[in-house]
Amino acid sequence: MEVLKQNTGNIVSMLGKSIKEDNSGSLVVVKLQVLLCYGLYNNLELLEHYGFLLPRNPNDNVHIGLPDAGEFGLDTINPPMQIPGAACVEISGHPSFSLLAALRLRACHSSLRRAKGHVALSGEQVSVESDILAYKWLEKKCKSLLESLPTKLEDDLVLQKRLIPVQSFTALEDLALSEEVTSEAKEVQEFLRACTSVGEGGAADEKYGVGDKDFQLERWKLALRWRIGYKEILHRCARLCSKKILHLGG
């Protein structure tokens, strides 16, 4: 690797370290802080690619697949144009600019779409009726996504609270023995079973070593934190849509 020499102070910088020459001519390494920008990733992308996530990540979001005009009971002639940008619900629960504009265009008649489509593209309301349809669809979509998940937000929060003092796989096994039969306890049991495999003789063989099991436990905790954040975004959006519909008189 090429080492770049700076003109001032005989300092050579390489990989976040400064190499200086002392009075005797020897090289002395001075450690410096290294900063790394990961980019505009949501928590799922951070978890998948880098193995961590951020609390209240401003870039966190939930992708929403767009409907066609037929889902609003309208004609599908002259389908609405594609809106650039991410069609998603942001961490605050608000639909992104692209998502709301796309829903507004799909929730109005094609004739109105041609006449006032530019209004939606500027972030404004096309009509009260189309806004009511758009927010009703989005509220239903968020609730549908939540209902399709195998666990509820309330159960996840209880499980997360119970896992806070658990710092090792052995401690998790002790917790499982003391737990009552609840949905959270069942998930703990499923995780414990996933860390073992059944041998040919029917006996459970160790699938991971002790250190590996502790690592799997931390990964599971991170996954739990992510799905809590995912569900919280959907709940915020559903509440916001309900308020918008009420305000619009729908």
* Residue pLDDT, tens place only, 54-76: 988 999 999 999 887 677 776 65
Query: Is residue 199 located within the same domain as residue 113?
Result: no
User: What total of structural domains would you count in the chain?
Assistant: 3
Instruction: Let me know if residue 185 belongs to a domain.
Output: yes
Domain end: 98, 116, 150, which one?
150
* Residue 231: Cβ-neighbour burial (10 angstroms; 0-12, 13-18, 19+): buried
Query: Is residue 142 located within the same domain as residue 113?
Result: yes
231-250 mean pLDDT: 95
- Specify the pLDDT at position 9: 44
Instruction: Let me know if residue 110 belongs to a domain.
Output: yes
Q: Which domain holds residue 116?
A: 43-150
Query: Is residue 49 located within the same domain as residue 88?
Result: yes
Across all residues in the chain, what is the average pLDDT? 82
Instruction: Let me know if residue 159 belongs to a domain.
Output: yes
Query: Is residue 137 located within the same domain as residue 47?
Result: yes
Query: Is residue 177 located within the same domain as residue 100?
Result: no
pLDDT of 13 over the 60 cut: no
Domain end: 133, 150, 167, which one?
150
Query: Is residue 84 located within the same domain as residue 14?
Result: no
Instruction: Let me know if residue 243 belongs to a domain.
Output: no
Each residue's pLDDT tens digit, 174-219: 888 876 657 778 889 889 888 876 444 444 456 556 568 899 999 9
Each residue's pLDDT tens digit, 121-144: 888 998 999 999 999 999 999 999
- Specify the pLDDT at position 158: 93
Instruction: Let me know if residue 249 belongs to a domain.
Output: no
Query: Is residue 101 located within the same domain as residue 47?
Result: yes
Instruction: Let me know if residue 126 belongs to a domain.
Output: yes
DSSP H or E segment with residue 205: strand 204-206
pTM recorded for the entire structure: 0.79
Domain end: 86, 115, 150, which one?
150
Query: Is residue 123 located within the same domain as residue 157?
Result: no
Distance from chain centroid for Cα 110: 35
Distance from chain centroid for Cα 137: 22
Instruction: Let me know if residue 248 belongs to a domain.
Output: no
Cα torsion through 103, 104, 107, 111, rounded to 10:
-130
Task: Please list the residues that pair with 63 across neighbouring strands.
Answer: 88
